[in-house]
Structure 1
Amino acid sequence: MEEMPKTYDPAATEPQVLEKWLAGGYYQRKPEKRPGAGDCTVVIPPPNVTGKLHMGHALDDSIQDAIVRQARMRGRSTRWIFGTDHAGIATQTKVDKKLKDEGKNRLEMGREAFIDACWDWTHEYGGIIQQQIRRMGCSIDFEDERFTMDPDYAEAVRRVFCDWYHDGLIYRGKRIVNWCPSCTTAISDDEAEYKDEKGHLWHLRYPLAEPVNGQEYIVVATTRPETMLGDTGVAVSPKDPEKAAFVGKTVKLPIVDREIPIFEDWHVDASFGSGFVKVTPAHDPNDYAMGEAHGLEKINIFDEHAVVVDGYGEFSGLTRDECREKVVAWFEEHGLLDHIEEHDHSVMHCYRCDSTLEPWLSEQWFVAVDKLKGPAMEAVTSGKVRFNAERWKQSYLTWMENLKDWCISRQLWWGHRIPVFYCEDCGWEDALMEDVDVCPKCGGHHVHQDENVLDTWFSSQLWTFATQGWPQHPEQLEGHHPTTALVTARDIIALWVARMIMSSLYFLDEIPFHDVVIYPTVLAKDGSRMSKSKGNGVDPMDLMDKYGADAMRFNLLSLFTNNQDVRFDADFDKQKNFLGSARTEQAKAFLTKIWNASRFLLMNTEGYTPGEPVAETAADAWMFSRLAKTVGQVTEGIESYAFGDVARSLQSFFWNEVCDWYIEVTKTRLSDAEARLQAQRNLIFVLDTSLRLMHPLMPFATEAIWDTMPASWLDEDGERAEALMVADWPEPAAYERWVNEPAERAFELTRAVVTDVRSTRARYRISPKEQLGVSIRANSDEVAEAIRGMAEFICAFARVSPLDITTGEATEKPEGSIVLAGADFDACIMLGDLVDFAAERARIEKAIAKAEKELAGAEKTLANEGFIAKAAPEVVAKKRERAEELKAEIGALTAQLADVK
């Protein structure tokens, strides 16, 4: 048997273990190891092809790996599909920048050469995140990698477009879209990011064509005076009787001298501004709706770069901001600027480049969603698709209820080109699976394909089934679709999750996954969003370099709760360099504990031969019962995606129960020739089972330890597995026989007695060699009998003599003793002349006085309103925290003082 290194070094161990896994082919899809065990298929949310690992990826991938590793050990046919998304806007933007730096221009190069440049870019930078995820220990079949631009995947995308087109679900229309003037493409509503900004409300005077009740003009209020060039109406609320006299009248639009009508519409809020709302149908969604209802002209005043088009004199050629400034100046110069108010409002920004989006009237392709969203809602309300946490179910349903037709065209070159072809000779149009250059209707040769590409989310909505052979080989989906779980972020429930459900139900008549697991957003230490520019973003590679992959994974999983935002405690220096993370340091300490405990046990296996575990002692019975319950908790916890609970349960069990108690208690038996072999078997059994339970969360260290262990118990096939990751999972049913409530109760009472004795020794600095007399007054006969049954163990393990156990009323405390009160018993510990009670009383009284003095000073400071108002929030918080610490300290000291009186 190979000896374990003295210390755990992840930098040395993890690459060796990874090589073992890859060489063994353990990541690859295999049939069920155990008949009837079922299937576990997971698709990774495809990162951008040129992306890099961030903290969200690290948490997401840790969750998925835990799911897949447990399923593999349970004998299921597992398949974890890795792939990347071509990321249309992001990739094209990066390639555009690269070409610009080289003095080149996309338009001058032409479409074909530019696409070649995009492919070159993806080949150069596309493998970074794959290697980073591999380093994390994610057990993905990397030989089965997918890319949304692969030929077979592209065929699937084209098939979906053509089928929906011919089924009447895809159409082309001129509608208001969110337009990014920087990326020069449409952006869907769900991709727009809203940001609160400080702005103004400009009140502009529009002259009436004819006076109304002696009034020469009306005042409209707007946050965007530059769009007034495209106004084709003014609206008032039907609930505003003061404006009724103006309805049906017209105004002369300043600057352009266009006569436009005043009308009533329910879109108008009578309390906003002046109650008169300018209507620009080509530059606002609500205005567009009013324009449709009232037959208004739709005038687009901006080009694709949000620059004023020709025909507007001195305003033509100006950007939005320049036009705004010049329009306001014109109104002021002509006495038509009524007044300006401060006004905060929410402004849409491009999720990629952060440019302010422009509501813009343009011709685009849309998916009509009315026939799709009903079945997709029913899949969730019926429970076929379950959300974890449950509250995200309502977010999904609310979004679906308000779902509008989806704009799927993008004015890009990189991506899936829309497969619609047009004949310039006869006007023929059709969506086709194969390219054509001759018109099938008239035989003309002036045929061209649509210039636009599809929204990236259109292609990624097929991810669960287009990655598994559809439509070329639908038989490959058998047994692997629907997939088990989709682990993803909450901000793409609408962008991706909903669309996957709609498309899967339409084309396969089944849901794409059973569970949607929404992982928490990982925030910076102060609760803000992580950002490189802020200097608070943590690179997972830095964490792995410093602590190892296991420590990073375990810490992240321990943070997983149904409270969606979690703070990551990273520290940085003034130059924004990463210094460390206390919680990840603690996770590494736990790994060290596992390593050291395992090393101790494996150094004491001389003479060991495999055999059944047998509960020969009370400690064995307690340990096996606790182990059986932990097996159940961890198994159910992973199955229900309660990873934070699983991590905490494992750490508490292994550190506090296995290491601190069971190993310590059993050490003496390793020195007993008669008891040694069974003690070894029991210890190895507990260690083996514990490693199997911890493996999905911390795969590297557990695999390395298990590789050096002797066999404890064999798998169902009668053999010891080649690797821990393909060994059998400890099934709860097989451990139920070990559950022993009386044994747990007795040992927990024993632990409480021993802990009382140990804490007393520590408090009064008494040597562990000194025998202490202890009198237990139990609250019931049942408690008394349980402790009596463990008396021999207590005396030996806590160095107690004599041990007296009684029930009944409390008696007067003997002189020279202290009494520790508990829920089940009171322990009277005889200290005699081992402790100078007078000196101890003086020491404690002095400590209380010192703490009370400091507390009084802290409370006086906190009562000072000037201090609270001027001091930094963190200083105030620290002062309050110290005050609470002092109160707790005084309480503990007061209790000690009562003991020694």
Structure 2
Amino acid sequence: MMDKTFDPKAVETRISAVWEDKEAFRAGRPDRKDAVPYAIVIPPPNVTGSLHMGHALNNTIQDILSRFERMRGRDVLWQPGMDHAGIATQMVVERQLMEQQIDRRALGRDAFVQRVWEWKEESGGRIKSQLQRLGASCDWSRERFTMDEGLSAAVLKVFVDLYDQGLIYKDKRLVNWDPKFQTAISDLEVQQIEVKGSLWHIRYAIEGEPGRFITVATTRPETMLGDVAVAVHPDDERYSNLVGRHAILPLVGRRIPIVADSYSDPEKGTGAVKITPAHDFNDFEVGRRHKLLSINILGPEAQISVAGNDDFLRDLPTSDSLTALMALDGLDRAEARKRIVAMLEESGDLVSIEPHTHAVPHGDRSGVVIEPYLTDQWYVDVKPLAEVALGAVRNGKTKFVPENWEKTYFQWLENIEPWCVSRQLWWGHQIPAWYDEEGNHFVAMTEEEAHAKAQEKHGRAVTLVRDEDVLDTWFSSALWPFSTLGWPEDTPEVKRYYPTNTLVTGFDIIFFWVARMMMMGLHFMDDVPFDTVYIHALVRDEKGAKMSKSKGNVIDPIDVIDQYGADALRMTLAAMAAQGRDIKLSVQRVEGYRNFATKIWNAARFAEMNGCQRVAGFDPAAVTETLNKWALSETAKAINEVAAGIEAYKFNEAALSVYRFVWNVFCDWTLELAKPVLQGPDSDAKAETQKTIAFIFDEISKLLHPFMPFITEELWAIKGEDGPERASILALAPWSNLDALIDPASDAEIGWVVDLVTEVRSARSETNVPAGAQIPLALVAPSADVQARAARWDDTLRRLARLSDITVVDSAPKSSIQLLVRGEIAALPLEGVIDLVAERARLTKEIQKVDADVAKIDAKLGNADFLKRAPDDVVEEQRERRAESLGRKVKMEEALRRLQDAG
């Protein structure tokens, strides 16, 4: 006998153990050696991480695909693993050391890295266990880590090969520099924050014209020490006679050219801009166009560096202010700004200061202001790789779902810049480059190979020192689809599972990860890494706001699983995963799908208590009862709908299809219509119905399994007669094809009963008929088939629609509302049941109220100032309220029309 209630906590633990014991998720199972492979690589979560709701959505979608294809007989590899997450992980361990008052540099590189490995072993498994709580059906026996031995070998080979091909090189360029961590960081790790600051207007004297100046405006006066030019727009007539002349840099006295460049905006500020190539990305490009010197006046901790700075001191005229400038050396940039502004005021070169709010780049982990910083770094020339990656999407080799994300992919790759891959960290893949005493570098797989190259160059043995930098985390992640399969070794897994099939990821890393995997896969494997990229939306709170700890609106998926079960959370996320639409998640929605799980459980108990047990050899095609034929036909349709939804990556449609089938078609109609037979005396019809319901319940378990794996696996195991063909566990059961059972004749009969009862119930509700009232139903000039059906199902129709009687009439009775059911007219005489006049008045008043509400919303949405100032979630809430109100209005207008037709 089944337990009275479904306990997710107890079931999830037990079912997980069954899957592990049966090796249900292992790729390359002996029974599938000839099956068509299907592979997904997990977007490797950071080893520092824990499961958040975005992970829950991402992995639920991957699991739906994996379980679905596994049930369809394919050899599924869902490749799990984690990313070493360079800067994030190093930051965590450094913070731990700081609490112990230990400095990383005092500890030394080897000891520090050992500490990180220890921490990884201790805490790195947290997210794995959380993914298992979610029900992720990864092949955990194949778990990989971006810094394990095999993946590290792949990283070394790719770096060396790209270097040998001339695609990796060292160059002095601007990077995003984090002064706290003292490393270059990627654009992804930079967060733009609106800051209330100032705009300083500074005058620069025109050489040879005493008393004439050109004024520039800047938000960063401290960088003016590195100015090498002033730029004006070529079409700006105000400055046309100054182009080619020189200005004198205030405080410094350096002679700098005035250049014409379209970067300068005549409509912005004074129309003249200071050019500091070493401290601004746009200025760097202007400097390259005009072959200007780059002067770096900041050190790695964002402190002023002028003393001993050859670039700064070069061509510097003797100046009385030089001593004052040297006094700035070593000052933090913020303090230096104050000093320089004071010096400009004193010299009379500060024209004005105005308040100015602007976006300032901050490190997303350090929280400090990021500096554009000129340093020597390693770069990948990705332009030729990008051309191939662009072609693979343009020719359809890889497709994006939704398709509009292709534009983002194209935009980034068409405008791609060299990729800075070096990081000034200790945790990560150390760059395989060694330097001799002269600064020459030798790139090689091993130190021995580097020494051999050095000896060949010098004709003697030389001392070499390895580059201390490590590679950008995204470099190793870019190899994930093939490095996890054992490449660069020619493994059976590489041959079988590459290219993979579907990548499920978020839009924010299309460039940082997806595009780089495409480039590396095509370059090293000569094929795309995946055929489809499914981009899922964001999970927001119920009001549409982005979840954040500062807002206090974060929903922890583990907390939700603890309270409602993994199945309820998964089904919620799947049902809301509409393509291109963010998910507004509320705990109430999860509670609703927990109730759905309870409904399934209770239906299973009802079936068990009514003798619905599996029978070996049951042939669904041999049933004779019309109700059973209809139920099996609806099951076949549901199987097709769910499969079509998953195949089209319309997970919400697939989830809602199975939800409607289970709740409405099976629970509300099949079981309800079968009750008189199941609870009646023994008969052939009863035995057939019991077997049919048991069979359908197994099909329901299969249909729901990709979405709700725990409860369905438990139901699959519940006692009953098992045929030899039945899989021992649901995770390995075959997906069904019941197209042969689709039966139009049974749909004409039972479908009519369902539609009639539904229409009567809807009409009763809309017109405010009291719930307990028994009302008559008149079939208006029905066909012989309909009249016969009504007779066969008279008791059922009266019970389910709360009808006092069913009659056949030639025309609709007075004061009745008419229903059109499959082309036939049915009428509900309501005179004496409700006050028709009062009900019409009520509905009219309600419609007017809705119109007023919609008008208020339209006024807001038509107000440009409201749209500009209101948060996105508030605007979206107003739009949803409008849509909801209009939906109610449609129903009320239909009810009013029916009452008006009734006279």
Same fold (TM over 0.5): yes
Which shows bigger deviation, 200-209 or 882-891? Answer: 882-891
Q: Are the aligned partners of 2:225 and 2:252 in contact in 1 as well (CA < 8 Å)?
A: yes
The aligned runs of 1:98-247 (5 Å cut-off) are: 98-211=96-209, 216-247=212-243
Shift in Å, 1:722: 1.0
- Paired residue type of 1:400: L
- Paired residue type of 1:744: D
- 1:435–1:790 Cα change, 3 Å: farther
Q: 1:429 aligns with which of 409, 417, 442?
A: 442
SS state of the match for residue 210, structure 1? Answer: coil
- 1:35–1:742 Cα change, 3 Å: farther
Identify the residue that residue 795 of structure 1 maps to in structure 2: 794
- Paired residue type of 2:828: I
Which shows bigger deviation, 608-617 or 876-885? Answer: 876-885
Q: 1:774 aligns with which of 767, 778, 789?
A: 778
The aligned runs of 1:845-864 (5 Å cut-off) are: none
Shift in Å, 1:158: 0.5
Q: What whole-Å deviation, never above 9, does each CA across 1:253-312 have from its counterpart, x for those lacking one?
A: 111111111122233333332222211111112222222333322110111111111433
The aligned runs of 1:883-894 (5 Å cut-off) are: 891=893, 894=896
Q: Are the aligned partners of 2:613 and 2:694 in contact in 1 as well (CA < 8 Å)?
A: no
- 1:395–1:893 Cα change, 3 Å: closer
Gap runs ≥5 in structure 2: 308-324
Q: 2:476 aligns with which of 448, 459, 471?
A: 459
- Paired residue type of 1:255: L
Which shows bigger deviation, 483-492 or 288-297? Answer: 288-297
- 1:662–1:216 Cα change, 3 Å: same
* Residues 1:612 and 2:626 aligned together: no
Q: Are the aligned partners of 1:753 and 1:794 in contact in 2 as well (CA < 8 Å)?
A: no
Q: Percent identity?
A: 39
Identify the residue that residue 574 of structure 1 maps to in structure 2: none
Identify the residue that residue 638 of structure 1 maps to in structure 2: 646
In structure 2, C-alpha distance between the alignment counterparts of 1:383 and 1:857, rounded to whole Å: 50
- 1:431–1:786 Cα change, 3 Å: farther
Identify the residue that residue 589 of structure 2 maps to in structure 1: 583
- Paired residue type of 2:367: D
In structure 2, C-alpha distance between the alignment counterparts of 1:609 and 1:855, rounded to whole Å: 55
Identify the residue that residue 623 of structure 1 maps to in structure 2: 631
Identify the residue that residue 727 of structure 1 maps to in structure 2: 733
In structure 2, C-alpha distance between the alignment counterparts of 1:164 and 1:582, rounded to whole Å: 52
Q: 1:272 aligns with which of 268, 273, 287?
A: 268
- 1:850–1:293 Cα change, 3 Å: closer
Shift in Å, 1:841: 4.7
In structure 2, C-alpha distance between the alignment counterparts of 1:513 and 1:879, rounded to whole Å: 41
Aligned residues: 863
SS state of the match for residue 245, structure 1? Answer: coil
SS state of the match for residue 501, structure 1? Answer: helix
Q: Are the aligned partners of 2:612 and 2:691 in contact in 1 as well (CA < 8 Å)?
A: no
- 1:785–1:344 Cα change, 3 Å: farther
Q: Are the aligned partners of 2:146 and 2:476 in contact in 1 as well (CA < 8 Å)?
A: yes
Q: Are the aligned partners of 1:813 and 1:819 in contact in 2 as well (CA < 8 Å)?
A: no
- 1:645–1:433 Cα change, 3 Å: farther
Identify the residue that residue 811 of structure 2 maps to in structure 1: 811
SS state of the match for residue 396, structure 2? Answer: coil
Q: What whole-Å deviation, never above 9, does each CA across 1:310-352 have from its counterpart, x for those lacking one?
A: 4332322222222223322322232222223444433323233
- Paired residue type of 1:203: H
- 1:802–1:239 Cα change, 3 Å: same
Identify the residue that residue 751 of structure 2 maps to in structure 1: 748
SS state of the match for residue 208, structure 2? Answer: strand
SS state of the match for residue 538, structure 1? Answer: coil
- 1:888–1:358 Cα change, 3 Å: same
Identify the residue that residue 283 of structure 2 maps to in structure 1: 287
In structure 2, C-alpha distance between the alignment counterparts of 1:255 and 1:766, rounded to whole Å: 88
In structure 2, C-alpha distance between the alignment counterparts of 1:862 and 1:165, rounded to whole Å: 60
SS state of the match for residue 303, structure 1? Answer: coil
Identify the residue that residue 296 of structure 1 maps to in structure 2: 292
The aligned runs of 1:686-765 (5 Å cut-off) are: 686-711=696-721, 718-731=724-737, 735-758=738-761, 764-765=769-770
In structure 1, C-alpha distance between the alignment counterparts of 2:172 and 2:233, rounded to whole Å: 27
* Residues 1:340 and 2:356 aligned together: no
In structure 2, C-alpha distance between the alignment counterparts of 1:558 and 1:860, rounded to whole Å: 32
Q: Are the aligned partners of 1:436 and 1:447 in contact in 2 as well (CA < 8 Å)?
A: no
In structure 2, C-alpha distance between the alignment counterparts of 1:728 and 1:863, rounded to whole Å: 52
Q: Are the aligned partners of 2:780 and 2:812 in contact in 1 as well (CA < 8 Å)?
A: no
- 1:60–1:263 Cα change, 3 Å: same
In structure 1, C-alpha distance between the alignment counterparts of 2:108 and 2:163, rounded to whole Å: 28
In structure 1, C-alpha distance between the alignment counterparts of 2:380 and 2:629, rounded to whole Å: 64
Shift in Å, 1:703: 0.6
Identify the residue that residue 430 of structure 2 maps to in structure 1: 417
SS state of the match for residue 268, structure 1? Answer: coil
- Paired residue type of 1:626: E
Q: 1:18 aligns with which of 16, 19, 22?
A: 16
Shift in Å, 1:804: 4.7
* Residues 1:401 and 2:401 aligned together: no
Identify the residue that residue 577 of structure 1 maps to in structure 2: none
Shift in Å, 1:248: 2.1
- 1:256–1:792 Cα change, 3 Å: same
Q: What whole-Å deviation, never above 9, does each CA across 1:662-700 have from its counterpart, x for those lacking one?
A: 111122222242212211121112111111011011000
* Residues 1:596 and 2:599 aligned together: no
Q: 1:359 aligns with which of 365, 372, 391?
A: 372
- 1:229–1:696 Cα change, 3 Å: same
Q: Give the root-mean-square deviation of aligned CA atoms.
A: 3.2
Q: Are the aligned partners of 1:851 and 1:886 in contact in 2 as well (CA < 8 Å)?
A: no
SS state of the match for residue 662, structure 2? Answer: helix
Shift in Å, 1:484: 1.2
In structure 1, C-alpha distance between the alignment counterparts of 2:70 and 2:728, rounded to whole Å: 14
Q: Are the aligned partners of 1:385 and 1:515 in contact in 2 as well (CA < 8 Å)?
A: yes
Shift in Å, 1:221: 1.8
In structure 1, C-alpha distance between the alignment counterparts of 2:341 and 2:635, rounded to whole Å: 75
* Residues 1:307 and 2:316 aligned together: no
SS state of the match for residue 207, structure 2? Answer: strand
Q: What whole-Å deviation, never above 9, does each CA across 1:795-844 have from its counterpart, x for those lacking one?
A: 121136864557xxx835247x554456733322357xxx744x745874
- 1:681–1:428 Cα change, 3 Å: closer
In structure 1, C-alpha distance between the alignment counterparts of 2:249 and 2:576, rounded to whole Å: 59
- 1:428–1:891 Cα change, 3 Å: closer
Q: Are the aligned partners of 2:614 and 2:721 in contact in 1 as well (CA < 8 Å)?
A: no
- Paired residue type of 2:284: Y
Identify the residue that residue 669 of structure 2 maps to in structure 1: 661
Shift in Å, 1:139: 1.0
TM-score w.r.t. the length of structure 2 is: 0.89
Q: Are the aligned partners of 2:567 and 2:711 in contact in 1 as well (CA < 8 Å)?
A: yes
* Residues 1:673 and 2:678 aligned together: no
Identify the residue that residue 476 of structure 1 maps to in structure 2: 493
The aligned runs of 1:527-566 (5 Å cut-off) are: 527-566=544-583
- Paired residue type of 2:692: N
Which shows bigger deviation, 646-655 or 235-244? Answer: 235-244
SS state of the match for residue 478, structure 1? Answer: helix
Q: Are the aligned partners of 1:132 and 1:541 in contact in 2 as well (CA < 8 Å)?
A: yes
Shift in Å, 1:230: 0.5
Q: Are the aligned partners of 1:758 and 1:798 in contact in 2 as well (CA < 8 Å)?
A: no
In structure 1, C-alpha distance between the alignment counterparts of 2:705 and 2:881, rounded to whole Å: 42
- Paired residue type of 1:367: V
- 1:785–1:107 Cα change, 3 Å: farther
Shift in Å, 1:887: 6.0
- 1:860–1:703 Cα change, 3 Å: closer
- Paired residue type of 2:744: E
In structure 1, C-alpha distance between the alignment counterparts of 2:208 and 2:659, rounded to whole Å: 81
Q: What whole-Å deviation, never above 9, does each CA across 1:158-202 have from its counterpart, x for those lacking one?
A: 111111111111000111111111221112334433344444332
In structure 2, C-alpha distance between the alignment counterparts of 1:819 and 1:624, rounded to whole Å: 32
In structure 2, C-alpha distance between the alignment counterparts of 1:90 and 1:42, rounded to whole Å: 26
Shift in Å, 1:847: 5.4
TM-score w.r.t. the length of structure 1 is: 0.89
Q: 1:684 aligns with which of 690, 694, 699?
A: 694
- Paired residue type of 1:25: E
